[in-house]
Amino acid sequence: MLILTCPYCGVKAEETELHGGGEAHLTRFGPESSDEAFEGYLFQRENPKGVHFERWRHAQGCGKWFHAARCTVTLEVFGTYSAQTSEPPQNIRDAISAKRPGWTWRSFA
Amino acid sequence: MSEPVSALNRATFDGLAHVQEAGLQGMITLRGTVLDEGFAKAVSDVTGLALPGQRGVVSGGDSTLVWMSPDELLLLCPHGDTSDRVAKLTAALGDTHALVVDVSDARAIFTLSGPQLREVVAKLAPVDMSPAAFQPGTVRRTRFAQVAAAVWLSDAETAQIICFRSVAPYMFALLCNAATPGTAVGIF
């Protein structure tokens, strides 16, 4: 069972209180963008084995969206952080580096 | 004027804990920037209560303020005073970017009392109900089986549970089932 701490209300919520929102930090391409960019935004995902960044919603609690960094192999959670950011904060990156040296995810490392 | 009626007309059940649909309760949702001084002052002035911190519950007189999310508070007051409080809050908030809505008729409230209420709640919600983790003065929004709810302890042996009015019969059935005599798990 995945347990994530909601950064907005501080509750240690287990998976059934949360709703997964897919991969984090997508850049949206809409009207006016190229077909390739739009296709990438819609369909291209990392689907990694290892370090991953996701969006989650505390659906049965405060209702806020937040980000989580976790390992898809071990379900280890490296940390959760605010949704008001377009990239993982440094403390989360440091926490991952401490446990998975040399990790990369899209343009982040 | 029609007579206001609560969801289950104060239905009760006695088992591991005493379950009661708590009857008519004024509930006002307040949304706004809680950390904003103008918002905090307006709410404090009208309610006479300090604003609760994260997951806090503050009671005083006939009112209770419950922290629902970083930008939402729930004010509980006597049912008959609801429209008056809404008017006062709206006036006090003035131009502040905020929302004040009477949700009394959209919700149901249950009271669970007795020394074994932690057992009953722990059977239904994925919440650490141990006395070390859950004490009066803290609210937990969560789910009870399949429905959303908020629960807090008003004292060591009384819990208040709020859910949507449309699921009140389901919530009452859940609580009665979990409180069936002889089904104590004996964890707490």
How many Cβ atoms from other residues are within 10 Å of residue A96's Cβ?
24
* pLDDT attached to residue A60: 95
CB-nearest to B142 from A10, A60, A64 is A60
Q: Where are the domains of chain A?
A: 3-99
pLDDT tens-digit profile, chain B (188 residues): 689 999 999 999 999 999 999 999 999 999 999 888 899 999 999 999 999 999 999 999 999 999 999 999 999 999 999 999 999 999 999 999 999 999 999 999 999 999 999 999 999 999 999 999 999 999 999 999 999 999 999 999 999 999 999 999 999 999 999 999 999 999 88
Estimate to the nearest angstrom the gap between the alpha carbon of B183 and the chain centroid: 26
**At B13, which amino acid appears?**
F
Distance from CA of B70 to the nearest CA of A (A): 7
Packing angle, helices B168-178 and B117-124, rounded to 10: 120
* pLDDT attached to residue B2: 84
CATH level 2 (architecture), domain B12-23+106-178: 2-Layer Sandwich (3.30)
Q: Once rounded to an integer, what is the mean pLDDT over residues A89-98? A: 97
Q: A61–B141: do the CB atoms touch at under 8 Å? A: yes
Q: Are B139 and B56 in contact (CB under 8 A)?
A: yes
Secondary structure letter of residue B130 according to DSSP: S
Q: A16–B54: do the CB atoms touch at under 8 Å? A: no
Rounded (5°) CA angle A84-A90-A96: 110
B169 vs A54, B82, B125, B149, B164, CA distance in Å?
A: 36, 24, 17, 13, 10
Q: B126–A63: do the CB atoms touch at under 8 Å? A: no
pLDDT per residue as tens digits for the range A31-79: 999 999 999 999 999 999 999 999 999 999 999 999 999 999 999 999 9
Complex ipTM more than 0.95, yes or no: no
Q: B69–A63: do the CB atoms touch at under 8 Å? A: yes
CB-defined contacts A:B, below 8 A: 37
B183 CB-near residues (< 8 Å, 6+ apart): B15, B16
Q: Beginning with the edge strand found earlier in the chain, give each strand of the sheet holding A51-57 in spatial order.
A: A19-23, A51-57, A65-71, A77-82
Q: Does A23 touch chain B (CB under 8 A)?
A: no
B44 vs B33, B80, B92, B140, B152, CA distance in Å?
A: 14, 20, 10, 22, 21
CATH class of B26-105: alpha beta
Q: B140–A60: do the CB atoms touch at under 8 Å? A: no
Q: A17–B143: do the CB atoms touch at under 8 Å? A: yes
Q: Where are the domains of chain B?
A: 12-23+106-178, 26-105
Q: Are A16 and B126 in contact (CB under 8 A)?
A: yes
Distance from CA of A83 to the nearest CA of B (A): 13
Q: What are the structure tokens assigned to B183, written together?
A: 């089904």
pLDDT exceeds cutoff 90 at A1? no
Q: What are the structure tokens assigned to A52, written together?
A: 């991953």
DSSP symbols for B7-65: TTSS-EEESSSEEEE----EEEEEEE-TT-HHHHHHHHHHH-SPPP-TTBEEEETTEEE
Q: Does A65 touch chain B (CB under 8 A)?
A: no
Distance separating alpha carbons of residues B77 and A46, to the nearest angstrom: 50
CATH class of A3-99: alpha beta
Q: Which residues of A touch B143 (CB under 8 A)?
A: 16-17, 60
**% of residues, chain A, pLDDT over 70:** 100
Rg (CA), chain B: 17
Q: Are A89 and A66 in contact (CB under 8 A)?
A: no
